[in-house]
Amino acid sequence: MGLLALASLLLWLSSLMTWSWTQRTDPLAGVVTTKLTGSQEATALVPLALLALALIAAVVATGGLLRRIAGGVVFLVGVGTVWVGFDNAPEIFATHPAGYPTVTIVAGHGIAVLAGLAVTLAGVLLVRSGHRMPRLGARYQAPAQAKKAADPDRDLWQALDSGSDPTANQ
């Protein structure tokens, strides 16, 4: 879940960075420079960041087989995020004007790819060992499924919590 939160933050950061830079000559204004941020160039970055946050809730709320299925979805989202980071990068680097800030462009794309790799790794970890993680609300299971407590004091408190009198049987 920490990887998904980190990936969401990285995707948001990447959406704010410069992803492309073009220059054109205007007869009236001279050389006009146009910069596009990640959210303008790759519009999927911010929705992918929000999806990574939503997947945290999905992972916490599910358990067992459903969590493994959620891990598969997380993996696919990660692969798609890596693809968004690499998408149209060769064209940007092939045709660039003089004074092109390649470092910022590489950083913007690289952070998106890094976020995608984090989401992909989170998906692999969830598919592999997500069933061992605790589930949200596992503490509040139905009494028939709850494990018998080994501590008699705890049994007394649980009886009080359920509304019965633990001393009535004595």
Q: Where are the domains of the chain?
A: 2-136, 141-170
Closest CA to 48 of 121, 116, 106: 116
pTM over 0.85: no
User: Mind listing the pLDDT tens digit of every residue in the chain (170 residues)?
Assistant: 788 899 999 999 999 988 877 777 888 888 887 888 888 888 888 999 999 899 888 888 888 888 888 889 999 999 999 998 888 776 666 666 566 677 788 888 899 999 999 999 999 998 888 777 766 665 555 555 555 546 777 777 888 888 888 777 65
Report yes or no: 24 and 32 within 8 Å, Cβ to Cβ. Answer: yes
| CA separation for the pair 74, 102 (Å, rounded) | 31
* Long-range interactions of 93-100: CB distance < 8 A, separation 24+: 96/21, 97/21, 97/22, 97/23, 98/23, 100/21
